[in-house]
């Protein structure tokens, strides 16, 4: 029989070894991280940028964008390490849900949510990986790989490590998002503890209004997040009608604007303006227009004052780093500012974190300002 103190130590070590969390580029557990994949650029100095496999990373310990040495099609970076917890053979006791409106087999979801991500939990903790990449990730049976179709454009990710009890909130938000689930494993114990998971797996939408949900999330290390989710019947833009009014601040928003429907210009008529980003600069070697970016993210910005400089001959303004925000939020999600997506589910997850806000704000190299 173990001595009580030794039993306690063993229990603690076992708990640590069996936690399920986001993983950093070295495979270490991390509370949260964000990734910005750069578009393919044939003239770039770095071969990974030329190949469309470069990505920049920040997390709670190092909240500034830095280029990761390993390409996205390798097996030594944060996405691989995070998802490998699902792909490894010993993962039969955890729950996971993979969803994407464009499945790995190329099939498109019609009428459901425009939403992409992975949720995975064991009976201690888990992670929610929100992203913008079509056809990603592969099903569990196929193991990790990076889709060849995802080389050309920019993409974004946000991974949040969450305690077990937060699975209830994540599941309820997913029900509003109306995801297209292409692979899942949800043991009976999870269904009994969180009955809403049955509705998520069955892709059962909310029964009635309200057609949107705003829920706080708290990470394992007590970082505050705010999750915004809308259902198909919301019939409005997520950022204009939900995020900006809730945060009571102007937003700078970057999303894909080349799908079916009409892209939305900057919204200058509402109390809280939503401004369209049109140029991004991740480093001296990585600068691109929004037409090369499939990412979906936003940052709060000053309500009444912008320190901007006009670029002669272009309908574009440059954001100066002196801008302020009442409460600094950076948001990463999966839905676009297109009129065609008024009638589709989707969402964004916002982190209230000054350094993360500064990092996202710092890559804004131009936006469509109001007259």
Q: Which of 30-44, 79-93, 167-181, 213-227 has the lowest mean pLDDT?
A: 79-93
Region 180-184: what's the mean pLDDT? Answer: 97
Query: Is residue 241 predicted with pLDDT exceeding 80?
Result: yes
> What was the pLDDT predicted at 303?
55
Residue with tokens 């100066």: 320
User: What pLDDT does 318 receive?
Assistant: 44
pLDDT (0 to 100) of residue 88 = 93
Output the pTM of the full model.
0.91
Q: Which of 294, 306, 343, 353 is catalytic?
A: 294
Q: How confident is the model at residue 106 (pLDDT cuts 50, 70, 90)?
A: confident
Tokens of 216: 């706080």
pLDDT tens per residue across span 306-352: 444 333 333 444 444 334 557 899 999 999 999 999 999 999 999 99
Backbone angles phi, psi at 166, to 5 degrees: -75, -10
Give CA–CA dist 316/330, Å, rounded. Answer: 22
Write out pLDDT tens, residues 5-27: 444 443 344 344 489 999 999 99
pLDDT digits (tens, 9 = 90+) for 123-176: 999 999 999 999 999 999 999 999 999 999 999 999 999 999 999 999 999 999
Mean pLDDT of 175-200: 97
Cα–Cα distance for residue pair 336/99, rounded to 1 Å: 17
Question: What mean pLDDT comes out for the span 248-271?
Answer: 92
Active site residue 294: yes
Q: DSSP for 149-210? A: GGSSSBEEEEEEEEEGGGHHHHHHHHHHH---EEEEE--HHHHHH-THHHHHHTTPPPSSS-
Q: In the prediction, which pLDDT does 326 show?
A: 72
Task: Give CA 50 to chain center in angstroms.
Answer: 24
**CB 77, CB 314: distance < 8 Å:** no
- pLDDT at position 296 over 60: yes
| DSSP secondary structure string for all residues of 324-335 | --SS-EEEEES-
CA distance 44 to 51: 9
Contacts of 34 (CB under 8 A, 6+ apart): 57, 58, 59, 156, 157, 158, 159, 330, 332, 356
């Amino acid at each position: 029989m173990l001595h009580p103190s030794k039993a306690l130590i063993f229990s603690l070590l076992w708990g640590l070894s069996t936690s399920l969390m986001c993983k950093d580029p070295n495979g270490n557990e991390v509370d949260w991280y964000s990734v910005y994949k750069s578009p393919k650029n044939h003239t770039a100095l770095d071969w990974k940028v030329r190949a469309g496999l470069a990505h920049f990373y920040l997390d709670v310990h190092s909240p500034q964008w830095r280029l990761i040495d390993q390409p996205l099609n390798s097996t030594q970076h944060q996405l691989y390490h995070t998802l490998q917890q699902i792909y490894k053979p010993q993962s039969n006791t955890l729950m996971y849900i993979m969803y994407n409106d464009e499945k790995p087999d190329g099939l498109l979801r019609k009428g459901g949510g425009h939403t992409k991500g992975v949720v995975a939990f064991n009976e201690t903790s888990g992670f929610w990986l929100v992203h913008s990449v079509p056809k990603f990730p592969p099903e569990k049976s196929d193991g990790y790989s990076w889709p060849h179709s995802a080389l050309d454009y920019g993409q974004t990710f946000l991974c949040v490590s969450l305690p077990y009890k937060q699975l209830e909130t994540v599941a309820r938000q997913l029900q509003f998002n109306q995801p297209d689930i292409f692979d899942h494993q949800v043991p009976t114990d999870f269904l009994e503890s969180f009955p809403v998971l049955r509705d998520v797996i069955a892709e059962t939408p909310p029964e009635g209004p309200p057609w949107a949900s705003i829920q706080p999330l708290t990470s394992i290390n007590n970082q505050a997040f705010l999750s915004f989710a809308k259902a198909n019947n919301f019939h409005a833009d997520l950022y204009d009608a939900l995020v900006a009014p809730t945060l009571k601040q102007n937003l700078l928003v970057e999303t894909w604007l080349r799908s079916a429907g009409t892209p939305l210009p900057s919204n200058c008529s509402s109390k809280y303006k939503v401004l369209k980003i049109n140029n991004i600069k991740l480093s001296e070697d990585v600068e691109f227009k929004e037409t090369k970016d499939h990412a979906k993210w936003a940052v709060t910005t000053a309500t009444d004052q912008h320190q901007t400089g006009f670029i002669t001959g272009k309908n574009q303004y440059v954001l100066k780093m002196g801008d302020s925000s009442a409460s600094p939020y950076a948001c990463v999600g999966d839905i676009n500012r297109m009129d065609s997506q008024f009638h589709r589910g989707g969402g964004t997850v916002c982190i209230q974190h000054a350094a993360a806000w500064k990092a996202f704000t710092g890559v804004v190299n131009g936006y469509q300002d109001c007259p």
